[in-house]
Amino acid sequence: MLETRDMDAVFQALAQASRRRMLDIIKDEPGIGVGALASAFDVSRIAVMKHLTVLEQAGLIVSQKDGRVRKLYFNAAPIQMIHERWTTEYSAYWAGQLTRIKYLAEAQHADQDVSKTSGKRKKK
Do 12 and 59 share a domain, yes or no?
yes
Task: Tell me if the pTM is above 0.75.
Answer: no
Question: 58 and 10, same structural domain?
Answer: yes
Residues 11 and 67 in one domain: yes
User: 68 and 49 in one domain?
Assistant: yes
Residue 63 pLDDT? 94
Work out the mean pLDDT of the chain and round it to a whole number. 88
* pLDDT (tens digit per residue) in 40-78: 999 999 999 999 999 999 999 999 998 999 999 999 999
CB 69 within 8 A of CB 32: no
Rg (CA), the chain: 20
The answer to whether the beta carbons of residues 81 and 2 sit under 8 Å apart is yes
93 with 111, same domain: the answer is yes
What is the number of domains present in the chain? 2
Range of the domain at 35: 4-78
* Distance of alpha carbon 49 from alpha carbon 35, whole angstroms: 10
Q: Residue 16 is part of a domain; what is its CATH number?
A: 1.10.10.10
| One domain, residues 66 and 12 | yes
Say whether 66 sits in a helix, a strand or coil.
strand
Question: Residue 123 falls within a domain, yes or no?
Answer: no
Residues 50 and 72 in one domain: yes
